[in-house]
Amino acid sequence: MDGPRPVRPEEIEDLTDLLDAIFGFDYYKREYMIAGLRRPVMETGRVIAEGGKPISYIFSHDAELSMYGCTVRVASIGCVGTREDRRKKGYAGAILTHHIERMEAAGVRLMIVSGDRNLYRRNHCVHAGVAYEAKLTPGLFAAPPTGLSVRRAGIEEWSLLAPLYQAEAAHFVRPADLEGNLCFWWDCCKFEIYAIEHGGRPVAYAVLGGYRWRDERGHWTAEYAGSRAALLEAMPRLFEATGSSLISVQALAQDVELRYRLAEMGVGTEWRTISGTKRLINLPGLMEDLRDYLAAQLTERDLAGLSFAQEGERCTFALGRERLDLDLSEACRLVCGHPNARTAEGALGRALGAIFPLPTIQAGLNYV
C-alpha cells in the first residue's frame, strides 16, 4: 500500500477513472473532470495507491469560517471511496483517520461531511446544526412587488453577491476568484443561483437545488443571504423562474428575521438538521478561537471559569466543580446543535445554554 499521501500530477487521469467508476459521474466530460482535479483547491485530497494506480481517495476543501467576527478553520470532506475489488480491507478507514490527523495538525477545528454512512458514524460524524424547514407553494403569495426582479446568475458574478454573503453573521471566508476554487463536482447538485435585485442592484440571492423526496418534487435553499423580506417577496418570481411548485426554505436556527417573517405569513416550520454530518476535530481550539463570541454571551466570571478539554474521543466541559463528560459524537451535537443533545444542569448548564448551539452554516457554494 502506497499512502495515504497527496495525489501526484501524473495520477490525475487514473484518479478521474477511479472516481467515475465509484460514483458514476456520467454527466461530466472526462476532460472537465481532469481539469477540475488539477485545480489548486484539490491539493488537500489524499490517495492510496497500489501498483502505481489510485485505489482509494478522499477529498477535503479546507476553508475559514467567520462567526460573529471570529475566524475558525474548517474542512469539508467528501468523495470518499475505494475501488470495488479492493474494498473491505480498511483503506477508507485508514485514509479518513490519516486525514483527521492531518486536519488536527493543520489547526482545523471542525469537519463538515457531505454524506452519512457507517464509515463516518464510526468516526463520530453526526447530524448536527439546526435549521427550520418551511415548505412554500405559490398559493401562499400575492403578486410580487413591481420593484423586485429575479434573474439566474452565474458563479462568475460572485463579486456582485459577495457583499451580501459577507454581511451574514456566520459565513465562509471565500476568495474573490471563487469560481476557480470550486471543486469540479460542485455542480453535480445542479445548483442554480438566483439574484434578487431592486433598482438593478442585488438585495438578496438564493442558491437552489432540485430534489425529489417520495412524491414531492421541488427546490430547496442550499444557501441564501441578503434581505429576508426581498427573499420572500420574490418567491412568486422564483417559482416562475424554476418552474417549481414547491420551494423548501431552510431557515437557519439563528435567523430570527426569516423565522419571524414566516410566522407572520402563517407558515409553519419543522426543525431539520443541516444536510450531511459534522465532526469536532479540536474542541478546546474551537472555543479559544471563539473567545470573543463567548465573551458576548457570558459573564466575566463564567467566561473565566468555563473550560473545555479533549483527550482522544472524549470531551469535558467544566465550570467550577461541575463537569460534563461526553464522547465526540455527543459533544458535536451539543456544540453544533441537535434537539436530543445531552447537556448539564446547574450553573454549567446555564453557561452552555448561553453559547450553544453555535450559529448554523449551510455548505452552499462550499459544497463538497
Q: All 3 cell numbers of residue 231?
A: 427573499
Domains of the chain plus CATH, in order, are 2-108 (3.40.630.30), 131-273 (3.40.630.30), 278-355 (no CATH)
| 162-199 b/e (C-beta count within 10 Å ≥ 16 → b) | bebbeebebbbebeeebeebbbbbbeebebbbbbbbbe
**How many Å apart are CA 368 and CA 366, to the nearest integer?**
6
Is 185 a residue whose pLDDT tops 80? no
Convert the pLDDT of each residue in 155-171 to its tens digit: 899 999 999 999 999 99
Residues 331/324, Cβ–Cβ less than 8 Å? no
Is 202 a residue whose pLDDT tops 70? yes
pLDDT value for 27: 57
Q: Could you give the strand order of the β-sheet that contains 201-213, starting from the edge strand earlier in sequence?
A: 148-153, 192-198, 201-213, 216-226, 247-252, 130-136, 270-273
Half-sphere exposure of 367 (CA within 13 A, CB side): 21
**How many Å apart are CA 349 and CA 247, to the nearest integer?**
37
Convert the pLDDT of each residue in 311-327 to its tens digit: 999 999 999 999 999 99
> SS3 of 353, please?
helix
pLDDT tier, 79 (very low <50, low <70, confident <90, very high otherwise): confident
pLDDT value for 237: 93
What's the DSSP call for residue 169?
S
Residues 133/270, Cβ–Cβ less than 8 Å? yes
DSSP 92-129: HHHHHHHHHHHHHHHT--EEEES---HHHHHTT-B---
DSSP 17-48: HHHHHHH--TTS-HHHHHHHHTSGGGGG-EEE
Largest Cα–Cα distance in the chain?
Answer: 64
**How many Å apart are CA 274 and CA 357, to the nearest integer?**
13
Q: How many C-beta neighbours within 10 Å does residue 155 have?
A: 16
**Average pLDDT of the segment spanning 329-344:** 96
**How many Å apart are CA 189 and CA 191, to the nearest integer?**
5
> SS3 of 153, please?
strand
Residues 332/126, Cβ–Cβ less than 8 Å? yes
pLDDT tier, 182 (very low <50, low <70, confident <90, very high otherwise): confident
Convert the pLDDT of each residue in 264-280 to its tens digit: 999 999 998 888 899 99
Angle at the Cα of 218 (from 212 to 224), degrees rounded to 5? 115
**How many Å apart are CA 245 and CA 250, to the nearest integer?**
16
